[in-house]
Structure 1
Amino acid sequence: MPFARIPVFHARVGTMPLKFFLKLYARLAGLTALVVFLCVLLFTGINSVRSQFWHERFPEPLMRWLAAAPAPLQQYHWLSSAVDLRMGAASRFNLSPVALERLGYGQVVGIDSDVGYRVLVTGLSGEILQLRLNEPYRDVSETIGLIFRWHLDSASADDRLNVASQMARSLNVEVQTLDDADLLPDSDVLDQVAERGLAFYTDESDGCGRVIVQLSDGELYRIDMPAGFDPWAWPVVLLLVLVLGGVLAVAVFLALREVDSNL
């Protein structure tokens, strides 16, 4: 019995041209570059605002301390050479109307200029008090150290810890005596202390600044500063990751849907 021939039907499978894939990849690459560029702009913009905020808030306790002094130029006259301490009428400082208004409200104002970062506040007499900082974090830290040293040298030995504690609360720092050899820093820092009576350094354990001051009788105190400005703080990084990941996820989804529609 002869076998009947079974017809064979060949399915025609559509193939997408190479041009389609190249066009799709080009779109994805362009979108990725655009998203990265927008993230850079976002990062720069956010950190510009954060930096301005930090540059005004970090020296604020110091500025409040100086502004509360009846005669800061006379009491802390040695700060004139260290951080260019000045005091006078507002007309002497070439300030914008916005800065003048903020100073009138009692705010600390920071201005980035060609001669350093200027930090201003209104004093008790209504005059403007200004510091000029070349390295804000280091300069503020060392200035606080100088003020600590002056006041602790003026206090009696029995009253020093109490004075140091009160000043630490007002200046938003931590202070302790270095009466234990394990607390001492490296020898190069101690050499600076022996030479200047003061030394600033960064502790590698937490990245925060430390200031060591030596009193006239040789007693050592360490002042622990708050953290400095970090442009890569975790909220900023998290925001960038969410924006970048979210946009790219949507882009991949749309690309896959377009591929599926062309199959």
Structure 2
Amino acid sequence: MTKITVDIEYIKDQLKKIGYEISDCIQRENNGLNWQLKFNNSGASATIFDSNKVKNTVVNGKADEKEKKMLKQIIDDIKAKEFVVDPLNEEIISLIRSHKEDYYYDFKRQFHKKDEDLLYDIICLSNNLENRDAYLIIGVADDFEVIGIDENCKSNNIYDFMKSKKFAGDFKPEIEIKNIYYKYKKLMVIKCKATKHIPYYLVERYGGVKDNTIYTRVGDTNTPKDRSASYNEVEKLWRIHFEREHE
């Protein structure tokens, strides 16, 4: 069996990108070469072995058993090049650590209980007044504690749901669903892409989301469902639309 070459700097870099703050990396010779990682923001400690067995990381320390199990799996998968951190991961972690919400991102503790609320959030974020990519981040509480998500929600269900809705001009918000990590906890991020087709609005009402009504998001607040965006906000969205029309 060919011995794997451990790229410890690559492993450290990937762990940093998912939010682990490495306080120490000690290289040791004890029945073969290994590295011990310690963290500022976790009680776990990980020992990574340089051997012909790829998935042999040992995680100990004062972290709970779930974190130990998940961190071992993450490190082993990084070592085996079976886990690559999404390029968006660092930005999402930075937004979480900002301890605020804004016009282009919104946190939810859990999946929406009502589909109309999911639709509403996606429309508001997609119609943000700066016409930039926006993020609906699921698995983060109102006090910015990272809760994480379970595996019950399938991304295909969300794509199919959005396709089934009737939008003006048949232009629907363009979304991309990503799995992001904050340390060992998985989050779902619905990326609402900036396009020239704003403003998006329904031509057929869905629950409390009104038809022929333009919603947006100002600061950390969505337009109320029973209202429309202001005259100036609607004008700005249409101005962006026509400025980008010939792209």
TM-score range with shorter-chain normalisation? Answer: under 0.3
TM-score under structure 1 normalisation?
A: 0.22
Structure 1 or 2, whichever has the larger Rg, is: 1
Structure with greater strand share of residues: 2
